[in-house]
Structure 1
Amino acid sequence: MKRLLNPLATTGVTMLGSMALVAILNSCTSSSGNDGGMMQMPTPTLPVLTVANIATTTHREYAATLEGKVNVEIRPQVAGYLETIFIDEGEYVKAGQPLFRINDRPYREQVANTTASLKAAQANESKAQLEVDRLTPLVKNNVISEIQLQTAQASLESAKANVAQARAQMGNAEINAGYALIKAPVSGYIGHIPYKLGSLVGRGEDLPLTVLSDVKDIYAYFSLSEVDFLQFKEQVPGATLEEKLKNLPPVNLILADNTVYPEKGVVSTVEGQFDKTMGAITFRATFPNAAGLLRSGNTGRVSIPRNHAQALVVPQEATFELQDKVLVFVVSDSNKVASRPIHIKDQSATYYFVDEGLKPGEKIVYSGLSRLRDGALIAPQHITLDSLLKTKPI
């Protein structure tokens, strides 16, 4: 018997074969397109900034140490036991105010001794003067020889010299006695007092009795490297260094807690030579300190402003570095980008100020630089410098 095939089964096999064929054809069609079968990447949309010149002020900060206008080491001029301490550490004193007293009994005894010696010398002088007065008329009357009068006059001169010597010794003793009471030479604040009552002090001690600081004005010392110093001489107007210092604007002092000291200072002097070990030169700025908020030993940062009448502003995040160059991606009219090096003449915390490589009105890519290559096409999303400065001020 012949075996008949089920027509439904035959029809099912044919349909499965047809579906498989269609799938293969679709696969071949999808894999055979333009660009060798690779899917085309979409054009990236990136923010683009038009650079422009603006008037602005930048600040350069330098680490500084603060010292009072006058820092006086108080040292004893005579030796002895410290008998009295009239002041306390940190106290404000006025010029002439007593600070310490050294036991002055030995020096008062010296004064008494030299005073007695002076009186004895003065008595001898008076005696010698009487002798001269007695012999003078006798010589005139030829009663005695002139030699006797000359001898008496020599004795008088010797007596006068003894008086002068005794008077000098008494003055020296009085000076030493006066040194026992130590007074403030200037007004200011008392520093650390390493000695206590009863301590034996003298001229040979390593430590002073204290340090007295006149902080009515404060000196802030800061250093510039050789490169910074050369830029300072090039950028600040003036024929001489003194003129350049006068042309510097007032400077700010930023304290250790990053607050700005309310009074402005003036850069007044610069040292005569570079420190060979540090390769830097020291400047000094003076700040008024009438309220006594600053003390010797404080630290901070001197902030020197620099005014730019016309500065081409470029955000630092719109740049990238390649070897020793700083570059930006410039956007052409066809929205293609090309890298270009720029020269930076100054900078702030977030911006560069460019004098070569860009012109006002040119467009640069603001962010997303890591995805770009020369010749890449972008879809620009324009942002303005004014809106950027509102969120990221200079």
Structure 2
Amino acid sequence: MKTPLLLFVMLFVYGCSSQENGQSAVTVPALPVWEVTSGEQTTHQEYPASIEGIVNVEIRPQVNGTLEQVLVDEGSFVKKGQPLFRINDRPYREQVNAARASLLAARGAVENARLEVEKLVPLVEKKVVSEFQLKSARAAYRVAEGNLEQAKAGLASAQINLGYTTVMAPVSGYVGRLHKKQGSLLSPTDPEPLTTLSDVHEVNVYFSLSESDFVKFKSQYPGASLSDKIKNVPPVDLILSDQSTYASRGRVDMVDGQFDKNTGAITLRARFPNKEGLLREGNTGRIRIGVQHEDVVLVPQSATLEIQDKIFVFAVGDSNKVSKKPITVVGKNGGNYLVKDGIKAGDRIVYKGIDHLQEDQVIKPEALPAEEKRLASIKN
């Protein structure tokens, strides 16, 4: 008697369980759905960059001597022609005096040689002396003239060296570290310069592109030659080390003539104005270049799933069935992927809650809440 009763209980439990499973199987999740759009979008590529002044000059002594005066301070701004250092000039003043004396002696020798020639000319005509003596006198006169020119050159050289005892700024700019102090013995062969002078009213910002990036860079701008393409590159931004964007924009104006064999990259230069002097030689940052994409589809990153380096979305098809589709991403813009292949404008995709979806699962599409839709538009 117990066996039929036990069988009845087991059948009852099984029936209830089957009923519950059936009810759970037909549960349709309600998920927000996004209709993708397409259009022209701009993405940005960033590249590490180094900053240099348009002129960066090493200031070195051109004569030997003792550093007598330091006329500038580190970091100060100087104008072209302004004195920076003074070297003890007494030895060079004496060299100038000696050169002047040699010049006076040379002029006297020329005068004596000239008088000798003038004296011999009538005597030769009267055949009092031989013509050979006159030729010798004229040769001595030419030698005296040569010695005079040599004395003039010696004086000029001594005056130049005297001028070198005051070291002038060759350009306007900012003074770097002072490597020599007052009283130091200086020589043109010193391995270290007195200081450096940087003209930074404009700065050159250098950055590098890989070979593939450079090919893309060239292909996206019109022009028959590389120089024409560079002219059509839009202004670029400079991102500073504190992640702020430099106020002025720059222009790309140079591409190196060859790739670096060690890195496989090519160097480009962008020039930025720097009237306030905020940028200095040696600063670092990143160059941000805008890249135009035409007719690309925008897909929110929150609506994607990444599996083994591939990105998928769940597209909503007929009868509200979802299917997992791989997409080809060509860039990012805010919170959106820019998609080239996989879906097209007008397709519907699941916006959120895709982690537990299965292929061919039926969902109940819901419109995005107004606030979330507004935020999604902002990300766009």
TM-score when normalising by structure 2:
0.91
Q: Structure 2 vs 1, CA of residues 136 and 27 (structure 1 numbering), >3 Å: closer, same or farther? A: same
Is the aligned partner of 1:246 residue 2:204?
no
Counterpart CA distance in 2 for 1:283 and 1:35 is 70
| Residue 3 of structure 1: aligned partner | none
Q: Which amino acid aligns with 1:278?
A: T
Is the 2:36–2:349 contact (alpha carbons within 8 Å) kept by the matching residues of 1? yes
Counterpart CA distance in 2 for 1:390 and 1:37 is 42
Is the aligned partner of 1:195 residue 2:180?
yes
Indicate the SS of the match to 1:177: helix
How far did 1:216 drift? 0.8
Counterpart CA distance in 1 for 2:262 and 2:176 is 31
Is the 2:336–2:379 contact (alpha carbons within 8 Å) kept by the matching residues of 1? no
Is the aligned partner of 1:372 residue 2:357?
yes
| Residue 77 of structure 1: aligned partner | 62
Output one character per residue of 1:229-268: Cα deviation in whole Å (capped at 9) or x when no partner.
1221222322322122111111111112222111110011
Output one character per residue of 1:71-106: Cα deviation in whole Å (capped at 9) or x when no partner.
011111111111111100111100000001111111
Q: What pairs up with 1:375-394 in 2 under 5 angstroms?
A: 375-383=360-368, 387-393=374-380
2:21 to 38, 58, 77: 38
TM-score when normalising by structure 1:
0.88
Is the aligned partner of 1:171 residue 2:156?
yes
Counterpart CA distance in 1 for 2:362 and 2:282 is 58
Q: What pairs up with 1:39-188 in 2 under 5 angstroms?
A: 40-41=24-25, 42-188=27-173
Counterpart CA distance in 2 for 1:102 and 1:123 is 34
The number of aligned residues is 373
Q: Which amino acid aligns with 1:314?
A: V
Is the 2:31–2:366 contact (alpha carbons within 8 Å) kept by the matching residues of 1? yes
Counterpart CA distance in 2 for 1:379 and 1:161 is 107
How far did 1:349 drift? 4.7
| Residue 361 of structure 1: aligned partner | 346
Counterpart CA distance in 1 for 2:74 and 2:341 is 58
2:245 to 245, 260, 278: 260
Counterpart CA distance in 2 for 1:380 and 1:265 is 48
Q: Which amino acid aligns with 2:299?
A: V
Indicate the SS of the match to 2:280: coil
- Unaligned 5+ segments in structure 2 are none
Counterpart CA distance in 1 for 2:301 and 2:211 is 25
Is the 1:31–1:37 contact (alpha carbons within 8 Å) kept by the matching residues of 2? no
Is the 1:189–1:213 contact (alpha carbons within 8 Å) kept by the matching residues of 2? yes
Is the 2:78–2:169 contact (alpha carbons within 8 Å) kept by the matching residues of 1? yes
Identical-residue share of aligned pairs (%): 49
Moved over 6 A (4+): none
Q: Which amino acid aligns with 2:379?
A: K
Q: Which amino acid aligns with 2:98?
A: N
C-alpha RMSD over aligned residues: 2.3
Counterpart CA distance in 2 for 1:240 and 1:55 is 25
| Residue 236 of structure 1: aligned partner | 221
How far did 1:388 drift? 4.3
Structure of greater Rg: 1
